């Protein structure tokens, strides 16, 4: 008589604990733990005095961060680990702290209403924040929130943009416009990769000041510029290559068709559109980041992540002649859609 081995509960227990790990990092970042420890290692009471927190409670948080590999503890003194210094300290050029604060203040509350999103099939902005149009109202509610959101997007962008601009050989293009390009990380990566290219960030006026700061810091600053506008309403700056990074996943089919049609019409014959999104596998069960991001889009927007076939259909319907999809090995994949050349 055979006996089936009992299923290992480890995976389930790890998932139960997963949100605690995230919230530990979110809270430590939001409190300024890693910024404070970047200047000088401290004991728990010293750090609590500096941050204005309860000493015993902060020590529990620090010990959890030590377990997670974010700080080191030796003789009662805490210091940042190298990964925290690079990605969790707000002054680091590679920081993800802005996205972490945004995740803590916006995404974490929204995900608390995931059940209602599943039952009703709609985002949770009104339920969570009391405003049906709260998406960018929440992002840009004040200068600190706006900077936190934009710097968060910049930090994420720096992890993906260098691979995206190299996914295809784009050296034949001379003018690139990144629609909704935020801080310009994709344009910066493109101009640094292709020395003959000039690139423009096209985004809302509220983004301009922060974007210009990042563009000016690039070695390719003389080939980078910012133009204010709304890609649904205003004329698009002329280019032979447009890009949409983390844009299409915000919208439903009607708005996507409207935007892609505008882009295709604005391109010259033989021009192209580079789309950067987390592309789902054909059966929509992977990869992990795309699946989780699709749920994130459910609670945040009217959109979601899509498969290669779905993006190909949307682009061909909008008037593009051919579509190629490539995995980049990062959290975003690259889709290049070509407009037909003149016969």
Q: What is the set of active-site residues? A: 249
Report the distance separating Cα 120 and Cα 138, nearest Å: 22
Q: For residues 89-120, b (16+ Cβ closer than 10 Å) or e, as one string?
A: bbebeebbbbbbbbbbbbbeebbebeeebeee
Report the distance separating Cα 37 and Cα 57, nearest Å: 17
Question: What phi and psi values does residue 271 have, to the nearest 5 degrees?
Answer: -75, 175
Quickly list DSSP for 48-117: HHHHT--HHHHHHHHHHHHHTTSEEEETTEEEE-HHHHHHTSTTSTT--HHHHHHIIIIIHHHHTTHHHH
Report the distance separating Cα 339 and Cα 263, nearest Å: 10
Which residues are registered as beta bridge partners of 235? none
Do 175 and 240 form a contact (C-beta atoms < 8 A)? yes
Report the distance separating Cα 123 and Cα 300, nearest Å: 5
Do 306 and 280 form a contact (C-beta atoms < 8 A)? yes
Structure tokens at 43: 């004991």
Closest CA to 41 of 75, 67, 80: 80
Report the distance separating Cα 265 and Cα 275, nearest Å: 16
């Amino acid at each position: 008589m055979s006996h089936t081995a009992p299923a290992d509960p480890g995976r389930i227990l790890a998932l139960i604990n997963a949100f605690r790990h995230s919230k530990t990092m979110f809270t430590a970042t939001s409190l300024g733990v890693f910024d404070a420890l970047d200047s000088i290692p401290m004991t728990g009471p010293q750090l609590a005095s500096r941050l204005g927190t309860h000493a015993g409670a902060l020590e529990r948080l620090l010990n959890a961060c030590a377990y997670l590999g974010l700080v080191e503890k030796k003789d009662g003194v805490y210091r940042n680990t190298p990964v925290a210094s690079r990605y969790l300290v707000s002054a680091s050029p590679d920081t993800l702290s802005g996205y972490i604060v945004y995740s803590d203040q916006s995404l974490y509350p929204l995900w608390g209403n995931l059940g209602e999103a599943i039952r009703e099939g709609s985002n949770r902005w009104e339920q969570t924040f009391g405003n049906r149009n709260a998406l960018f109202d929440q992002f840009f509610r004040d200068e600190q929130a706006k900077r936190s959101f934009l710097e968060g997007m910049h930090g994420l962008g720096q992890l993906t943009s260098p691979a995206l601009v190299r996914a295809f050989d784009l050296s034949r293009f001379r003018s690139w416009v990144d629609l909704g390009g935020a801080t310009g990380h994709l344009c910066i990566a493109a101009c640094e990769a292709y020395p003959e290219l000039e690139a423009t960030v096209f985004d809302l006026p509220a983004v301009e000041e922060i974007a210009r700061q990042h563009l000016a810091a690039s070695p390719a600053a003389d080939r980078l510029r910012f133009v204010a506008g709304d890609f649904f309403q205003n004329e698009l700056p002329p280019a032979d290559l447009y890009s949409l990074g983390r844009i299409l996943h915000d919208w439903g089919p009607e708005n996507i068709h409207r935007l892609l049609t505008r882009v295709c019409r604005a391109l010259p014959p033989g021009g192209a559109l580079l789309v950067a999104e987390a592309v789902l596998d054909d059966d929509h069960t992977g990869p992990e980041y795309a699946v989780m991001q699709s749920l994130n889009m459910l609670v945040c927007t009217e959109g979601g992540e899509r498969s290669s076939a779905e993006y190909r259909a949307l682009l061909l319907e909008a008037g593009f002649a051919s579509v190629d999809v490539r995995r980049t090995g990062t959290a975003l994949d690259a889709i290049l859609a070509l407009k037909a050349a003149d016969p």
